Amino acid sequence: MATTSRHRPHPLRTLITFGAFILALYVIMAATGSWAPKLGLDLRGGTTITLTATNITGEGSINQDNLEVARNIIDQRVNGYGVTEAEVTTSGDRQIIVAAPNVQRDDLARLVGQTAQLYFRKVYAVQQNGDTTNPGTATVPEESIIPDDGTIPEEVVIPGEETPTPDESPAVEPTATETPKAKSGPPLLPELPTPIPSPRPTAPGPVQQTTDELLKWTPAERDYSDFAAFVCGDSFPNVTDQPYIACDGDAQTSYYKYLLGPALISGQDLESANAAIPQNSVSWLVQLKFNDVGGTAFTAVTTALSAMTEPQNQFGIVLDDKVISAPRVNEPISGGSAVIEGSFDQKSSTELANVLKYGALPLTFETSNIDDVSAKLGGDQLSAGIAAGLIGLALVVLYCIIYYRGLATVVVASLGIAGLLTYAFIVILGIGMGYALNLPGIAGAIVAIGITADSFIIYFERIRDEAREGRSLRTSIESGWIRSRKTILVADSVSLLSAVVLWILAVGSVRGFAFTLGLTTLIDIAIVFFFTKPLMSLLGKTKFFGEGRRFSGFEAEHLGMKVTALPAAAASGGSH
């Protein structure tokens, strides 16, 4: 008897514990102040951009490891600019899809459009871009690259943080390494004739040259002729062991165009780039740290460049077809750590650090498609989806009322608790792991209504079968549960397995459907075990259900039994 008592179920205790768990979820929501789920791109609106990858050397199959590396870099780059909840996924064997909610087309295109490799090249010549309104008077920020003396904080400064103003900071005496905020542009080339540019190689040469060999390279007459003829906005073959011509912006925004030598250091050898402020200073700087390979090359290059005069003592840092920075080198820098100083503010230093940090991709990309996603369209579809879900829910409840009569109260209560649990988990998962509810996810929740209804039907029908075999209703509720729970678990396991497989194989928003389907399937199991079954055990002890009274759903005639009343044990509480 002691063993039987120890294993006797306590339905009321189970319901109270389960209710406390649900209450705890809503307490968490209250504590965080989050009562609404995060919405995905299709419900909030935004922009999607499709990028198609090509190998740097031309046509051929795309290495999938490189594609995944590129996806990670683009994801970090987009989120590094403060675009939260952006989704960057691969599609097929060569496409990357970038979807960002609440971001305009031009802003997102600017963030992901810089998709070529990042290289450090030597500057050989600089010429002012044509300016018919103020020829020769444009000024650009002067930037220098100096050793990192260890006085700058290691952590990245978060954009938007309050920074000290000159009035709040202690005065700092100028030092020999302090750089003026801006000065007139670098020396210009004399005017040269404007010949037609000759064709250039589009692939690297057959022999990989060393850093020392690349530093000995000098431009030929053809390079100067092409440079003189180049107009900002034109394209030029970006080949690592060949000279390159680029501007510091597009045709409308460029101040200068640069004649650059072969690539000396790859952006892939740059470990980190951080925007920061030195101690006791108000000037923003950009910290650089290279890996072992990059550090060795950086030492050799800065040693060579520091012995030259302007503009050949400058690095041209090139991303895509633009020179994003051209700092001067005034002394050799060893150790692989350096600082770019200049007329930076918080925004410009953060943008340069992010471009340096996230700019090096193993592949080149073309923008195949840009789509604007309207929040209104998603809202209309959401309204239609909610309407469809309510109609489905109403049909399920109507069926249960007609067929199961009083037992429909159990169905309605279970579905209501399932709705509360699902909503709470979606909100909390949005807070904890950034889960955003999208239209496919809502479809998964609607499908879950049918899955939950299946569990009720399996259990109720097993109870009715047990009663037809002559057992009392209280006994039928317990024995029916023992015989039906395995079937319920098998059915839910199939649904859960489908959700897992779909999650693994699917990409993009379809994963939202798989995730929600899996989540609601697990919730269905919890509801049936910790709410429906204990509730049925309690209802079986009442006269209305336990004695199979009219409209309870357990009437003898409704069960298809030939007797006019259920076994007497129904009233006395007997069990098998």
In the chain, what are the helix, strand and coil shares in percent, each to the nearest 5?
Answer: 45, 20, 35
What residue ranges define each of the domains in the chain, with the CATH number in brackets? Answer: 10-40+374-572 (1.20.1640.10), 43-110 (3.30.70.3400), 116-357 (no CATH)
DSSP string, 212-258: HHHHT----HHHHHHHHH--BTB-----TTS-EEEESS-TTT-SEEE
pLDDT tens digits, one per residue of 61-93: 777 777 887 787 777 667 655 555 677 888 878
For residue 235, give both structure tokens.
Answer: 């394209």
pLDDT tens digits, one per residue of 297-342: 999 999 988 888 888 888 888 876 788 888 899 898 888 888 888 8
Please tell me whether residue 373 adopts helix, strand or coil conformation. strand
Q: Where are the alpha helices (DSSP H) in 101-162?
A: 105-113
Cα 469 to Cα 130: distance, rounded to the nearest angstrom: 97
SS (H, E, C) 274-290: EEECCCCCCCCEEEEEE
Other beta carbons within 10 Å of 275: 25
Other beta carbons within 10 Å of 18: 18
Average pLDDT of 89-111?
75
SS (H, E, C) 57-81: CECCCCCHHHHHHHHHHHHHHHHHC
- Residue 190 DSSP one-character state: P
SS (H, E, C) 391-407: HHHHHHHHHHHHHHHHH
Among 364-368, 426-430, 444-448, 572-576, which stretch is predicted with the lowest mean pLDDT?
Answer: 572-576
Q: Is the pLDDT of residue 131 over 50?
A: no
pLDDT tens digits, one per residue of 15-48: 999 999 999 999 999 998 888 887 777 777 777 8
**Percentage of the chain exceeding pLDDT 90:** 10
pLDDT tens digits, one per residue of 432-479: 777 778 788 888 888 877 788 888 888 888 888 888 887 888 888 888
pLDDT recorded at residue 377: 62
Cα 512 to Cα 503: distance, rounded to the nearest angstrom: 8
For residue 239, give both structure tokens.
Answer: 């080949």
Average pLDDT of 216-225?
87
DSSP string, 113-125: H--S-EEEEEEEE
Please tell me whether residue 144 adopts helix, strand or coil conformation. strand
Q: Are 54 and 368 in contact (CB under 8 A)?
A: no
Q: Is the pLDDT of residue 126 over 60?
A: yes
pLDDT recorded at residue 522: 92
Cα 136 to Cα 26: distance, rounded to the nearest angstrom: 66
Average pLDDT of 549-560?
73
pLDDT recorded at residue 525: 92
> Which residues is 96 bridged to in the sheet?
51, 90
Q: Are 123 and 309 in contact (CB under 8 A)?
A: no
Question: Does 359 or 231 have the greater pLDDT score?
Answer: 231
